[in-house]
Structure 1
Amino acid sequence: MKFKEFRQAGHWPTLLSAFLYFDVSFMVWVMLGPLALYITQELGLPVGEKFTIVAIPILSGAILRIPLGMLADHFGPKRTGVLAQALVIAGLVYVFFFGLHSKLEVELLGLLLGVAGASFSVALPQASRWYPPQYQGIVMGIAGAGNMGVVLDSMIVPWLAETFGWQSVFGFLTLPLLLVLIIYAVLVKDAPEKRRPVTWKNYTALMADADTWWFMFFYSITFGGFVGLGNALPLYFTNWYHVSGIAAGMMSAIVVFGGSMFRPLGGLIADRIGGIKALQILFVIVSLSYLTISFLPEGPLPAAAQATDSKVAGWALGDLPRVAWVAVAIFFVGAMALGMGNGSVFQLVPLRFRGEIGVMTGLVGAAGGIGGFFLAKALGLSWDLQHGFAAGFSVFAGLPLLGLIGLTWVKRRWRTTWGAVSGARV
């Protein structure tokens, strides 16, 4: 791939704007992951309910992607994106001034944050429609790399909460949202393709296609695993390895950095060797990572002298036990494979459903969010049942193996039907 040809093939300001929009939206969508350590501590909630709270925005975002995708196809991604971003900003400003005082209020906030997560249905189709088939992998990888927002959350949210209080975090995160909203409104252009009004019939028609369900299943594994871990890891690290809130945030940032940075590479590799082959390799890596994590022992409790004076006390980053660093390394490899898997899935989706990319992005993205919800929820349930996380990770180690079987099942048909006329490697 020549960079000059790629740059001239589409509209790079829209691609850049889609990346930034997705980045800050994703950052807000998963902010309850690291912030839940502080909010739930103040409300006195048990561990299992903490995992439920961080799972709510994931489920909300999954459900809202379908109607938001319909709005994007009907009114245009730009108008829809501006409206969604404005709604999220209003919610953050409200919490900044008035706070959260009950579990119900936190759950309602989680539902609102789902609007930010549903931005997936705006950013990806917006970028995809500007570029020809041979660039779909790298384009969707770049736009989707906006999930770097998870890294920013994990790094800065605990520090802001410790320094200024958790309520102030909502005010701080409003600033990048406003800046990106301005950039987005000025630079982005909807593709010149003629839009067709989208109704529920479009969704039901696609739901009758077996390929739709396969893509939804594959993405529930890759994106679901990534976003589920991004939200649940701070709680996992503090409860299983007994680290401080800031240390848990930095450990989570290291892990999700791998998934975010390697997503474009996954799309690029899929362009070279085909999305099916890429996913087959990546599913094996993901399964082995989850399975290995399920066997890691609990970390030791810190002595009083070694615990930080953090609001969420525990091991400081410089004093972490060895097993905690082993877990970070394994999670990093797994997250890297998940991120690359995201790019690989979306190398295939536009090739199969070019004319319905907005609808398909909503469906596939919803499935990814639902997968993330169940991962976070399964970890909380695992803790409630056995005071550990092995069962939750073991279940999710089996899903990539089922995905591998599914790829073997559809590979020949895909390559000899729509893949043969797609103009790209499948």
Structure 2
Amino acid sequence: MIKKVQLPLQTANLVVGFMVWVLISSLLPFIREDIAIPAEKLAIVTAVPVVLGSILRIPLGYYANVFGARIIFLASFILLLFPVFYISAASSFADLIIGGTFLGIGGAVFSVGVTSLPKYYPKEKHGLVNGIYGMGNMGTAISTFAAPVIATQVGWSMTVKLYLVLLLLFAALNFILGDRHEVKVKTSIVEQIKGVYKNEKLWFFSLFYFITFGSFVAFTIFLPNFLVTYFELEKVDAGMRTAGFIAVATFLRPVGGWLADKFQPLFLLMGVFAGLTVAAIILAFSPSIGLYTVGSMLIASTAGIGNGVIFKLVPFYFNKQAGIANGIVSMMGGLGGFFPPLLLAIIHSMTGSYSIGFMAFSQVALASLVLVVWLYYMDRLSLQKDVFNSTAQGIIVTDATGYIKAVNPAFTTLTGFTEDEALGKNPNILSSGRQSSDFYKDMWGMIGDDGQWQGELWNKRKNGEEYLELLSIVAVKDDSGDIVRYVGTFNDITPK
């Protein structure tokens, strides 16, 4: 029973964590009425919770494996009580920076669930499960929509205090319903980092999540104030529009995870980055509110799907180091939400326009599209290499003139010649001398006529021992019909 509760419980935990994480940006229009915040420092106030919320994802992902999700969620909600209470009594810009920094704990809990929940489900469901958990992003929408509405009735300070009740409630729920017997993994954090940091896929996934989740977070904290100041919308209207953006991105996240369970995830990422490129170009032209809405919704859709796809890929490639890998990738996503608002604010202060910033984002998305295409083909080459190296048959590849260009490990096992000793040589280094020149003349004549040959012949190992092999030779041709290489595969059939 407890195990079945974990997915809805941890998803609800993430909702609460993200509600607290965006508390300041949701209420900023109200807070500015009481606290003087210079226009050039607005982006800093909304971005500081993202910093700690990103960096803490690595240790929280690791310790979720060591202590279990129950302990980490419980401790996180208790710790969040202090900055939330501090912010409710804030009276200066410095108070908001101090309290906002520690609100980052709310965003850091993301790495807890993506580390814990896959333990309860088979691999073919990890994309969907992590996608459902990722719907906890909806917490940002709830705060962005509900907090301004409540603040108009009771004021922003009392609204912040209401979050204390919510945190206490969920601390109690985790104490009661959290899984006390979750499987623990106690490998040292240094060993786990050593096991992943050399894998280039970790850094590719980090970059991709930096773009997809970063764009989600950046727009979440950027839109409320932007819509009020640039389009002169009412504060509640701006909050509702931002909530709509968040809702679309959040509901499409499990769709992205489900699609990644069914189809090639890298193909899906190609579509994601193509969509982000187009959307950013639309926004770069500073359109009317209608086209701006279209561009924003396209970003919400593609970012949401992309977030789901990436967290199908991470546990697939890093099953044994899930905690640290999830932490690193999700940290990069959080940092992806920190830099864009600052850059947009700097560019706007220098040029009076956001267009250059959005155009730069479109180029980063386009570069990511190219990297996904490259990664897809590298994956295919890696698969071919794995097949080449793991097959039990000896394989020898020559160029059109008959000189060896590649051999596999089984070739060395069967013949005694290492790869270095074979490369650049003619396959006659294996010749036993038993076959006549007419034998080879007939063999190559058949290859020239039919493109292939199969038969038995005696060859000699490096140590001089003769053996009988079953050999197949295939001529590989290019599109114009010219032979570019020969591939031979063989087995030792002497015992037979």
Say which of 282, 290, 296 aligns to 1:331: 296
Kindly indicate whether residue 47 of structure 2 is the aligned counterpart of residue 82 of structure 1: no
Residue 61 (structure 1) aligns with: 53
Say which of 19, 34, 52 aligns to 2:26: 34
Residue 369 (structure 1) aligns with: 334
Residue 317 (structure 1) aligns with: none
| Compared CA separation, residues 362 and 140, structure 1 to 2 (3 A) | same
Residue 113 (structure 1) aligns with: 103
Read off the aligned partner of 1:342 and give its amino acid letter. Answer: N
Q: Matches of 1:415 and 1:190 in 2, distance apart? A: 42
Q: Matches of 2:352 and 2:95 in 1, distance apart? A: 27
Read off the aligned partner of 1:80 and give its amino acid letter. Answer: I
Greater helix content: 1
Seq. identity, %:
28
| Compared CA separation, residues 345 and 419, structure 1 to 2 (3 A) | farther
Q: Matches of 1:419 and 1:235 in 2, distance apart? A: 51
Residue 166 (structure 2) aligns with: 176
Kindly indicate whether residue 231 of structure 2 is the aligned counterpart of residue 266 of structure 1: no
| Compared CA separation, residues 151 and 359, structure 1 to 2 (3 A) | same
Residue 414 (structure 2) aligns with: none
Residue 371 (structure 2) aligns with: 406
Give the drift of 1:204.
Answer: 4.5
Give the drift of 1:118.
Answer: 0.5
Read off the aligned partner of 1:376 and give its amino acid letter. Answer: P
Give the drift of 1:409.
Answer: 1.4
Kindly indicate whether residue 372 of structure 2 is the aligned counterpart of residue 386 of structure 1: no
Give the drift of 1:327.
Answer: 1.8
1:234-313 aligned at under 5 Å gives the runs 234-297=224-287
Residue 92 (structure 1) aligns with: 84
Read off the aligned partner of 1:85 and give its amino acid letter. Answer: F
Stretches of structure 1 lacking an aligned partner (at least 5 in a row): 1-7, 298-322, 422-426
Secondary structure of 2:188 counterpart: coil
Kindly indicate whether residue 127 of structure 2 is the aligned counterpart of residue 137 of structure 1: yes
Residue 353 (structure 1) aligns with: 318
Q: Matches of 1:12 and 1:416 in 2, distance apart? A: 40
Kindly indicate whether residue 113 of structure 2 is the aligned counterpart of residue 148 of structure 1: no
Read off the aligned partner of 2:7 and give its amino acid letter. Answer: L
State the Cα deviation string for residues 19-74 of structure 1 (Å, max 9, x = none). Answer: 00111101111122221222234322233311121111111211111122232222
Kindly indicate whether residue 29 of structure 2 is the aligned counterpart of residue 21 of structure 1: no
Q: Matches of 1:12 and 1:212 in 2, distance apart? A: 30
Kindly indicate whether residue 33 of structure 2 is the aligned counterpart of residue 52 of structure 1: no
Say which of 149, 152, 167 aligns to 1:159: 149
| Compared CA separation, residues 194 and 59, structure 1 to 2 (3 A) | closer
Q: Matches of 1:415 and 1:186 in 2, distance apart? A: 47
Residue 125 (structure 1) aligns with: 115
Give the drift of 1:412.
Answer: 2.9
Q: Matches of 1:154 and 1:420 in 2, distance apart? A: 50
Give the drift of 1:115.
Answer: 0.6
Kindly indicate whether residue 165 of structure 2 is the aligned counterpart of residue 200 of structure 1: no
Read off the aligned partner of 1:173 and give its amino acid letter. Answer: Y
The answer to whether the 8 Å contact 1:14/1:126 transfers is: no
Read off the aligned partner of 1:412 and give its amino acid letter. Answer: Y
The answer to whether the 8 Å contact 1:68/1:80 transfers is: yes
Secondary structure of 1:86 counterpart: helix
Read off the aligned partner of 2:335 and give its amino acid letter. Answer: I
Give the drift of 1:418.
Answer: 7.8
Q: Matches of 1:367 and 1:287 in 2, distance apart? A: 20
Secondary structure of 2:320 counterpart: helix
Give the drift of 1:405.
Answer: 1.1
**TM-score, normalised to structure 2's length?**
0.74
Kindly indicate whether residue 385 of structure 2 is the aligned counterpart of residue 395 of structure 1: no
Read off the aligned partner of 2:161 and give its amino acid letter. Answer: G
The answer to whether the 8 Å contact 2:77/2:170 transfers is: no
Q: Matches of 1:21 and 1:418 in 2, distance apart? A: 39
Give the drift of 1:243.
Answer: 1.3
Give the drift of 1:135.
Answer: 0.4
Over the aligned positions, Cα root-mean-square deviation in angstroms equals 2.2
Give the drift of 1:201.
Answer: 4.1
State the Cα deviation string for residues 346-380 of structure 1 (Å, max 9, x = none). Answer: 11111000111111111001100111101111121
Secondary structure of 2:56 counterpart: helix
The answer to whether the 8 Å contact 1:51/1:235 transfers is: no
**More moved, 323-332 vs 355-364:** 323-332
Q: Matches of 1:177 and 1:409 in 2, distance apart? A: 45
| Compared CA separation, residues 193 and 214, structure 1 to 2 (3 A) | same
**TM-score, normalised to structure 1's length?**
0.86
The answer to whether the 8 Å contact 2:69/2:178 transfers is: no
Give the drift of 1:417.
Answer: 5.0
Kindly indicate whether residue 35 of structure 2 is the aligned counterpart of residue 70 of structure 1: no
Say which of 218, 229, 232 aligns to 2:208: 218
The answer to whether the 8 Å contact 2:55/2:331 transfers is: yes
Secondary structure of 1:129 counterpart: helix
State the Cα deviation string for residues 143-174 of structure 1 (Å, max 9, x = none). Answer: 11100011101111112222211111211222
Secondary structure of 1:91 counterpart: helix
Q: Matches of 2:353 and 2:13 in 1, distance apart? A: 37
| Compared CA separation, residues 147 and 347, structure 1 to 2 (3 A) | same
Read off the aligned partner of 1:199 and give its amino acid letter. Answer: I
Give the drift of 1:326.
Answer: 3.2
Question: Larger relative CO (CA 8 A, sep 6+): 1 or 2?
Answer: 1
Q: Matches of 2:131 and 2:201 in 1, distance apart? A: 21
Read off the aligned partner of 1:104 and give its amino acid letter. Answer: A
Q: Matches of 1:74 and 1:349 in 2, distance apart? A: 19
Stretches of structure 2 lacking an aligned partner (at least 5 in a row): 387-496
